[in-house]
């Protein structure tokens, strides 16, 4: 009975808040007759967001996405489906596919033309690209189109023989005239597909030979490239397709190139489409509408718990990646996320005082189910069903004024990975 | 982003740029500037590109593509703002 007394499914008067025509099966009633409204959330959930499944619940009632998530991002964004197809989401539209919600941080693509504007098969290369002119080793545009991933590609061929008497490095430069905007790492990413080749070796590089893609053989293959290099501000950036052709050697290589991107940091964000100038994908600001009222109605001020399913694609990044951030300001908030040391971290602070729980370091990338409870005297984190950190510390829960999903309240610390599901419920002693 | 309003704001420093945004946000539902976790201030990254220094264009060798003259800071800072609705204060600050 103690559970029922704490359940948010009951109003203070003791009556269940679910429709009498559809009693929830977890209370021992028969499953709903209408399969479309069968319960898919967890017992006790007051808010359940199944982004990957496209279904949302608030207090046992099906809810629209707009009722449970507000989005601000006045730029377009791209995100993948499970089948590997990219969708483009317009301004203020959350990037949600069957992989989940992508809460992305801000990124600028410094490859100014990755949509190949101005290119002509058998003729011009994309506007802004520069191509080496070496006798006997010409490059050509062999094809243009849209790939099965939904993004544009360009086919580029180099065919000829080096008769110049010296080793040559014929190249196509994607970032001519670009200089680094920062002192720090830049990451160049792309998909290079070898459609056919007669010469193995260098394909792509970011300035230095040490930051390059070399193919080991001439077999057709797909390479998802990530080249990271440290720059100084104002240093020239040369992201290029290049071959090394020794004296007397012939080459006939055909490449398909897509998703060209060059951005700051060492994390390659989803593709940002450019058509003549660098473009910025603004950050997502994702909030639960009317969170203060909901948190009060759900009794979260006395403690709250929940569960999330997230796909983690990387663990080497020294950045915080938050699943949620509930509170009022920096000294008064509760958040759960992947810390910079790749532990799962639950922090609860009121007036900057309160516990911080950390699990052991996550050992691998992949899908994780994370559960947590924020309750004075009994807080914990579970990873894939096992208690991974706990605390009996007593504390004051901060005022839960705003609820951010997938990033920190300042707009940094974005998850930059798909959040498949998020469930919230009251805490249990 | 053709269906949104775009403003480029220029100021002599990052702090001056922040001050322009703080002034423009008065009385509005969503602030342009927010407090970060370290007690500092940051722009609303969902609507504003992070401020950056305005630079001259670099000069490259036409034959080799090598950098001849690196870009030089002009002395101004820039930020770009994209909004769904027009903003008179930002329009004035941008000189639109």
Judged by a CB distance cut-off of 8 A, whether residue B15 touches chain A is no
Q: Which token pair is A80?
A: 């993948």
Q: Which of A91, A334, A404 to mutate to test the interface with B (most CBs of B within 10 A)?
A: A91
Residue of B nearest to A72 (CA): B46
ipTM score: 0.90
Q: Which token pair is A393?
A: 């510390």
Rounded Cα–Cα distance for residues A80 and A88 (Å): 9
Contact by Cβ (8 Å): A362, A321: no
Q: Could B46 and A282 be called an inter-chain contact, meaning their C-beta atoms sit closer than 8 Å?
A: yes
Q: Could A74 and B70 be called an inter-chain contact, meaning their C-beta atoms sit closer than 8 Å?
A: no
Q: What is the pLDDT of residue A13?
A: 36
Judged by a CB distance cut-off of 8 A, whether residue B85 touches chain A is no
Q: What is the pLDDT of residue A11?
A: 37
pLDDT in tens, B60-77: 777 666 778 888 888 899
Rounded Cα–Cα distance for residues A412 and B34 (Å): 11
Judged by a CB distance cut-off of 8 A, whether residue B71 touches chain A is yes
A-chain CB neighbours of B47 within 8 Å are 72-74, 282
pTM for the model stands at 0.89
Q: What is the pLDDT of residue A209?
A: 72
Q: Which of B46, B51, B70, B71 to mutate to test the interface with A (most CBs of A within 10 A)?
A: B46
pLDDT in tens, B12-63: 999 999 999 999 999 998 999 998 888 889 999 999 999 998 888 888 777 6
The Cα-based distances of A284 to A91, A104, A125, A404, A419 in angstroms read 10, 6, 34, 10, 13
Q: What is the pLDDT of residue B55?
A: 85
Contact by Cβ (8 Å): A75, A294: no
Q: What is the pLDDT of residue A28?
A: 42
Q: What is the pLDDT of residue A14?
A: 38
Q: What is the pLDDT of residue B69?
A: 84
Q: Could B84 and A75 be called an inter-chain contact, meaning their C-beta atoms sit closer than 8 Å?
A: no
Contact by Cβ (8 Å): B33, B18: yes
Q: What is the pLDDT of residue A9?
A: 38
Residue of A nearest to B71 (CA): A234
Report the residue from A108, A238, A284 with minimal CB separation from B46.
A284
Q: What contacts A261, CB < 8 A, 6 or more positions away?
A: A109, A111, A114, A188, A189, A190, A268, A269, A271, A272
Q: What is the pLDDT of residue B60?
A: 77
Query: Which residues of chain A approach chain B closer than 8 Å at the C-beta?
Result: 72-76, 90-92, 105-106, 108, 130, 173, 176-179, 181, 234-236, 238, 280, 282-285, 329-330, 408-413
Q: What is the pLDDT of residue A318?
A: 78
Sorted by where each starts, the structural domains of chain A and their CATH numbers stand as 1-33 (no CATH), 45-69+285-426 (2.60.120.200), 130-280 (2.60.120.260)
Residues of chain A where predicted confidence (pLDDT) is lower than 70: 1-37
Burial A337-365 (b: 16+ CB within 10 A, else e): bbbeebbbbbbbbbeeebbebebeebeee
- Nearest by Cα to A232 from A186, A280, A175: A186
Residue of A nearest to B1 (CA): A75
Q: What is the pLDDT of residue A1?
A: 31
């Amino acid at each position: 009975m103690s559970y029922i007394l704490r359940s948010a499914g009951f109003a203070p008067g003791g009556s269940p808040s679910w429709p009498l025509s559809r009693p929830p099966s977890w209370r021992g009633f028969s499953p709903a007759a209408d399969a479309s409204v069968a319960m898919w959330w967890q017992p006790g959930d007051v808010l359940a967001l199944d982004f990957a499944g496209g279904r949302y619940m608030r207090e046992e009632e099906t809810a629209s996405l707009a009722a449970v998530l507000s989005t601000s991002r006045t730029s377009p964004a791209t995100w993948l489906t499970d089948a590997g197809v990219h969708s483009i989401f317009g301004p203020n539209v959350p990037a949600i596919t069957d992989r989940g919600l992508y809460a992305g941080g801000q990124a600028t693509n410094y490859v100014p033309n990755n949509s190949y504007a101005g290119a002509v098969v058998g003729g011009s290369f994309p506007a802004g690209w520069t191509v080496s002119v070496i006798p006997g080793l010409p490059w050509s545009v062999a094809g243009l189109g849209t790939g099965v991933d939904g993004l544009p590609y360009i086919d580029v061929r180099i065919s000829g023989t080096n008769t110049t008497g010296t080793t040559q490095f014929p190249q196509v430069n994607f970032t001519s005239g670009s200089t680094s905007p920062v002192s720090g790492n830049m990451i160049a990413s792309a998909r290079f597909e070898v459609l056919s080749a007669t010469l193995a070796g260098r394909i792509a590089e970011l300035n230095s030979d040490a930051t390059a893609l070399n193919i080991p053989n001439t077999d057709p293959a797909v390479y998802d490239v990530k080249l990271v290099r440290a720059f100084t501000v104002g240093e020239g950036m040369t992201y290029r397709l290049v071959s090394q052709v020794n004296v007397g050697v012939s080459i006939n290589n055909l490449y398909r190139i897509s998703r060209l991107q060059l951005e700051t940091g060492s994390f390659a964000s989803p593709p940002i489409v450019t058509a003549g100038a660098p473009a910025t994908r603004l950050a997502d600001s994702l909030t639960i509408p009317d969170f203060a009222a909901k948190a009060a109605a759900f009794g979260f001020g006395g403690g709250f718990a929940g569960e999330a399913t997230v796909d983690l694609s990387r663990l080497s990044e020294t950045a915080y990646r938050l699943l949620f951030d509930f509170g009022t300001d920096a000294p008064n908030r509760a958040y759960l996320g992947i810390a910079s040391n790749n532990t799962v971290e639950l922090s609860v602070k009121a007036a900057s005082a309160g516990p911080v729980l950390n699990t052991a370091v996550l050992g691998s990338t992949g899908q994780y189910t994370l559960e947590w409870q924020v309750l004075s005297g009994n807080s914990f984190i579970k990873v894939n069903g096992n208690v991974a950190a706990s605390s009996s510390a007593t504390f004051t829960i901060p005022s839960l004024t705003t609820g951010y999903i997938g990033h920190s309240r300042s707009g940094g610390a974005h998850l930059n990975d798909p959040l498949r599901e998020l469930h919230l419920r009251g805490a249990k002693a | 982003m053709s269906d949104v309003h775009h403003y480029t704001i220029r100021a002599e420093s990052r702090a001056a740029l922040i001050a322009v945004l703080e002034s423009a946000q008065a009385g509005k539902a969503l602030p342009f500037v927010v407090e970060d976790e370290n007690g500092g201030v940051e722009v609303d990254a969902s609507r504003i590109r992070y401020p950056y220094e305005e630079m001259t264009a670099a000069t490259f060798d036409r034959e080799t593509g090598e950098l001849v003259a690196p870009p030089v800071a002009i002395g101004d800072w820039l930020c770009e703002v994209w909004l769904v609705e027009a903003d008179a204060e930002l329009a004035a600050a941008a000189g639109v």
